Amino acid sequence: MAAAADAVGRKSAFRRGLNATRVAVASAVTVLIVITVAHAVTVVFRPEHLYLSVTGCIITVKQKTPANATANATVDLTFSIQANNPSGRARFYYTDIRGLIFLVNNNNGTNSKQAIFKFSLKKDIIVAPDSMLQTASDVTAKNYTTIASSFDELYNGGNGTIYNNAMLKLNGTFTVGLYSVYNKTDSVTKVYYCWPLTIAGNASAPDMDDNVPSCEEDRDPTE
């Protein structure tokens, strides 16, 4: 009888130990799940910022085709967009980018803007984590009646500075790739205002520069 009682006691102790182990494992798994979910929520909702600037703060203009009997004259506008992704974990996508170039005039302390060119960028901006990217952009502009005086100055501007108070506005779709191209957050519209910029004739293309001021995000600095 004593041996049977000891066996029962050992089985009970074993069961209690097994149950305690199960509870400990279940608690550890629960804690791990909570930590994982909290991290995922933090990753998804952590604010991410893509910083853009125009390299050298310059837009180069040169004649492309002269006017003839069947076509208007055109000029080429060339600039580079410098993109900085400081995030060490996410890939940034800035796509379907449309742009406007304005001339900004200051009259008695008040800025007024004249939109002179409207365009779409041919290339999307996709920046890997903790990286910088420079994207060259070429825009062909035609001579329309509404911008005739400005176009003449650009077309005949020669090699010097033509305007030193221009602004570039970019409007595109911003998406964060959390871990890969197949795992993205919802897309949002982001607008960037790059100002002040210089428009110059036949200027050399500047190199990437860490000291170029960033474009304002969702805020027009001239207003």
**DSSP string across 45-78:** HS----EEEEGGGEEEEEEEE---SSS--EEEEE
Phi, psi of 222 (to 5 degrees): -90, -5
| Cβ–Cβ under 8 Å, residues 34 and 80 | no
Q: What is the reported pLDDT for 39?
A: 41
Q: pLDDT digits over 154-176, tens only?
A: 777 766 767 888 999 999 999 99
Q: Tell me: the pLDDT tens digits for 59-92?
A: 888 877 766 655 677 778 889 999 999 988 889 9
Q: Can you give the pLDDT at residue 141?
A: 74
Would you say the pTM of this structure is higher than 0.75?
Answer: no
pLDDT at 96 over 60: yes
